[in-house]
Structure 1
């Protein structure tokens, strides 16, 4: 029961912050350009800072090296997830502006804000090392590959020949990826993970803006689009099925059938942790990334809100499945 309440508590916090953004926009505290302005702050400044600080906080050089064979299965799960998502997008002829969003929605999870509290409630601090395995894979998947799918799905690119042929440094090396690469190099060099104090405190404060600003951004988009326009359309249902059914199912099959073939004896706690993380809701920052790439922000907002709210139903089902893992 405490696990369920922990999950509900996390979701209520998310919904309340989105509601705050909705109301502030409705009462015109935010201007028409607010969402566009804030997206740049989130993706180019706050996200790199957040990723850098998170890596320093949750990883050490020894723990990074010690992740070892546990990385193989979530990595394979992500690769298979992308392949299936790509096939779905092609077969169903998903329109430009939604393709990259859908593939990210299916494959990448909200590991920090929802996944980590849920994991701690389920398994305690002893599961932290196993949680980091999925965190690393999810971070690399999102910022080394997933973000490119969104940027390259810009529906306005074909209308502007100059933009089409221009090599964008931002697309080639997005700032969140820069933050992750710098963090890993910092870690491998054995540099202090909390010194100098003023630098890490500054990065920590700026990085902490990501989640609340992303959720406020979602609330603003909800207000501008109108709640009545958010519904379970075909593309939303596919994204939700991919996130809550396909991703955990692929990982379960890989662990149950792949581990024996490779002669890997994965601890039960590691198996359960990886499966739990694979079924967490979509990234809160997804609508922000969609806005940066001129994608379908309303669709991105739709699937993020739906996946977050529906996670209340997913948690009990997930807890039942874990009994057989």
Structure 2
């Protein structure tokens, strides 16, 4: 199933968010480059991401970003910029035929996350990790940072046309982050988990602004309603802030965690292998099995190969698990993508 057939052509794009010549990321054209060219494209994309993260790290060292600014950036990106990015990306780069094809694709991220979870739990048992690290290890290994790193890196590699597929993976990842991951980290800290009912869980997922943005975008696409051009341009301007702000936020998080906390303690190498190597391999096999090809395959594999979810470190500190262990995993996995992503782009070309 070549999902790029269901996407809007370059000549049909409308609004600022859909103009390939404007905005933050360059548009990626599959098959338009040789192997060396694609490798250089991936290296330059990763280098751009590294530079933006370095800005965030530098601003933290200079004292320009603190806890208040960090909170503002996170809230602005998640609650305002990302929902606008969803609407612009879906309406400018997808049509109804492509939407119908995407329904079956949702099985790929779900199955990939489930298999990664199983492998991570087996690895934690074999490594005989202490109680305050076991749940943290599993959470770091089976979930990827699809929002603050996944969205910028995919748009940088493939262009804004990749946004619908990123949001599909993000939806699956969010479900597991808010359920399985929270329970695992809680058990590593307090030894028990809080009681949750199905209603509060559903409300917690469906009221998240990025999920609301996805729902709104797909509803507009399904009904054939397109907002006025001025509204689309307004959304496009807000959408363009996602990549630089999200990456500067990640850079500040690396600065905040500190390189002094980075140690290859027991379990960290295994976590990196699962997170950066096995997860994308599983995703590639699932894409082949489900017949997912083209741009969707590339995006899904990229999303599966991303660093640890930054929220894991926060949860570890909140529930009394090993926060330093989570911080080390987060920093090392973030550094690791600067090596793995360019190589991965050659493998999945």
Shift of 1:79: 3.6
Match of 2:259 in 1: 227
Could you say if the C-alpha distance between residues 203 and 286 of structure 1 is closer, same or farther in structure 2, counting changes exceeding 3 Å?
farther
Structure 1 residue 298 and structure 2 residue 327: aligned?
yes
Q: How many residues in Structure 1 have an aligned counterpart in Structure 2?
A: 299
Match of 2:310 in 1: 287
Could you say if the C-alpha distance between residues 26 and 253 of structure 1 is closer, same or farther in structure 2, counting changes exceeding 3 Å?
closer
Structure 1 residue 241 and structure 2 residue 273: aligned?
yes
- 1:105 is paired with a residue of what secondary structure? coil
Structure 2 residue aligned with 1:100, among 132, 136, 139?
139
CA distance in structure 2 between the partners assigned to 1:78 and 1:52 by the alignment: 25
TM-score (structure 2 length as normaliser)? 0.66
Structure 1 residue aligned with 2:216, among 166, 170, 182?
182
CA RMSD in angstroms comes to 4.2
Contact 1:46 1:209 in 2 (8 A): yes
CA distance in structure 2 between the partners assigned to 1:51 and 1:140 by the alignment: 12
Match of 2:297 in 1: 274
Instruction: Report 1:19-98 matches (<5 A).
Output: 19-67=54-102, 76-89=111-124, 92=127, 93=129, 94-97=133-136
Q: Structure 2: where are the runs of 5+ without partners?
A: 1-35
Match of 1:141 in 2: 172
Shift of 1:30: 2.1
CA distance in structure 1 between the partners assigned to 2:263 and 2:234 by the alignment: 40
CA distance in structure 2 between the partners assigned to 1:151 and 1:209 by the alignment: 29
Structure 1 residue 13 and structure 2 residue 36: aligned?
no
Shift of 1:28: 1.2
Match of 1:113 in 2: 152
CA distance in structure 2 between the partners assigned to 1:223 and 1:173 by the alignment: 31
Contact 1:3 1:118 in 2 (8 A): no
Could you say if the C-alpha distance between residues 274 and 114 of structure 1 is closer, same or farther in structure 2, counting changes exceeding 3 Å?
same
Match of 1:216 in 2: 248
Q: Structure 1: where are the runs of 5+ without partners?
A: 121-127, 260-265
Contact 2:141 2:272 in 1 (8 A): no
Shift of 1:6: 0.8
Contact 2:84 2:238 in 1 (8 A): yes
Contact 2:120 2:141 in 1 (8 A): yes
Contact 1:14 1:215 in 2 (8 A): yes
Shift of 1:10: 0.9
Match of 1:124 in 2: none
Structure 1 residue aligned with 2:239, among 207, 229, 234?
207
- 2:248 is paired with a residue of what secondary structure? helix
